[in-house]
Structure 1
Amino acid sequence: MKTVVRRFRIIKTQFLPASGIPYKDTPEEYLKNKDRLLCMYRHMRMIRLFDAKSFSLQRQGRAGTNASTEGEEGYAVGYAAAMTDHEKVIGAKHIHVPHYRQNAAMLWLDEDDKEAALMRILLYWGGSELGNLAAKNRPDDHPMCVPIGTQVGLAQGRAFALKIRKEKRAVVCICGDGATSTGDFNTGINFAGALKVPLVVIVSNNQYAISVPRERQTAAETFAQKGIAAGIHSEQVDGNDVLAVYHVVYQALERAVKNSEPSLIEAITYRLGAHTTADDPTKYREDAEVAAAREKDPLLRMRRLIDHLGIWDEAKESAYCAWAKERIEEAVKRYENYVKGNPLTLSQLYDHQVASPHYTQIRERELLLAYQKAVAEGEKT
């Protein structure tokens, strides 16, 4: 005899189609909050402009390799806005554990000084760990994580600590779709489910793990369903729909804080730009595919919404872009002045890793500096 033991399903949330005309079930409060809508759009626009500037700086040799955020601003601003709004309700800061493509979210979360936030991003990609310093208003946030998937285990540990300490806040961890194939990811979400910790894991499904397309990464129909095996709440969201992302992440934060319930959210989006400035995406995807994805661009979708609501026009767009470019240029100036006055050194590989270095790190640093000195003296002779 065979019986059905359990059935599972994955729900996908979307409020804004590519046209920008909201569906009827879009919460009215989201559309009435004009200030938040405009703030979301402005942040998305600024990071898109910054992305273009960063690319130009790298090509000129004035900045390091960096990861493009083009096409992924929607989900990043959506979850960051949900975090800050929920923080106002609980009176505490959530803990942000980002991966390396989170410029848009980090810009939103740094509530004090946008130019400083942009400068830190340039510093980080320029090779200085000082760029990983958390914003002054968010001392508990983690630095951007480049190794694939390792941050999920760290985030689970932070969330478990919050539970032990009975702190009413959550950890929000971001990873790419490629991370879901790693052991760190699966171990992290498994422990999150078993220990029932206040963790929200957002998987940015941008269709490519560098050059490996989504269909070659896994036979699973969704990345969200991987959370079902871990026994945690799992769902999909249109990652190009900033309002839908805001909605599902806010709900996940409520579950995390009230019930210590973990969640896995797959945000479906598309990486319009290159993986990094060292990548050539024309080697592994067709122009027609990218052109089709541009019709679903989150920035374009949000612009269509605010145009539809009558709260934006070309004059406002031009004025804002001019203002944003000035802020970006000021951030670049601050970055270049800092680097000029504080040239990068090999010792910085160790100086900003941990608060209390292990003796092996101290010894490695000494050996490295001794080798550097020997090479320099050899060049002189």
Structure 2
Amino acid sequence: MLIPILALSKTNIYVFERVRPGAVSEGLSSPHRAAFKTRRLDSRRERPERGAGRREFRDQRTDGHGCRLVRSGTRGRTDTGADWCVRGPEDGRTRVQTGAFAAPLRDMKPLLLPCVALVLWLGLSSAGTGTGTGFRPGLNHEAGLSARRTYGRAARALPAAVEPDSTPMTVQASDLPTCLLCVCLTGSVYCEEVNPDMTTVPALPKETAYLYARFNKIKKIGTKDFADMLTLKRIDLTGNLISEIEDGAFSKLSLLEELSLAENRLVKLPMLPAKLTTFNANFNMLKTKGVKANAFKKLTKLSNLYLSDNQLEAVPFIPDNVRTLHLQNNNISEVNVNTFCRSNDTYYLRPKLTEIRLDGNPVLLSKHPDTFTCLNVLPVGRYR
């Protein structure tokens, strides 16, 4: 509380800094030096107005030992200058500098209000210090004890907290909304590499036209998976574990144009929609007995057929509109005139079929030169 006491004082305080301890004239006696240590100059000078310029001043006082104490310097918000001891007559006086001074603490009245506020705040804080309920205005000591006892009884009456079950909870992809697992845009659903694992076809929003459910763990496609999705135009199920597709799973998809079942575990093909233009079943385990004779016969709009990297022993029936045919890396060992052309129609041509790949098969294409007479290009494969 030292600062508030100083703030209430009306006396200007001067701080003296001696230039050099004991640096006084030989003519200045020891009592005079003691007087300098114990006495202060008269400080009854008025403080200049705020904003006033600095001006020179000179004050003097006699210490009672024949020495006039003189203070001279510059006056402003902070007085600075030097203290002198002048002794003797005007013609032979001795002038000795006894120290330098500065007076920064001229007026501390503006600190009065903050100090009073600080004292009040400390008093209120000390009155409210305690444990349990803490400080509450208007609550006496007995009422506080009663409140703490009531709080303790209520706390003991509470039931013990139930510890959470440490058993990890398994979340299935089928239990979560599709658009939480996948990216749903206008007419498109992207479900690629879903975590947690997606093992079934997800429920799709209405009016979905494009479904991309690649690289998941879907194992089976049932007749109900796409029963109500009549707006689908493209389905991409590449990179799953599909080994079974029920007949009729795609039969109601009258608008379906592109279907990709590549990189799965299929051993047979289901019935395909009539308007299909692109079908991809690369990298499966298809065999000839798993592909029905009329599997592609009714697909009059089929343009791209990809059946590479399977286990086919023969070339299936190829519709007339097919432009691209990939059958590489199978077990095809024989082709004949009816494979691409018609033996009973020497004028039959297939100008649309511009890409045929039979490389990676054991068949030797040079042994059957009449097989490709209706084609504009020869198949890619082994000729010798």
Interval containing the TM-score (normalised by the shorter chain) = under 0.3
In the superposition, the TM-score normalised over structure 1's length comes to 0.20
TM-score when normalising by structure 2? 0.20
Q: Which has the higher strand share?
A: 2
Which is helix-richer, 1 or 2?
Answer: 1
Mark the structure with the bigger radius of gyration: 2
- More contact order relative to length (CA 8 Å, sep ≥ 6): 1
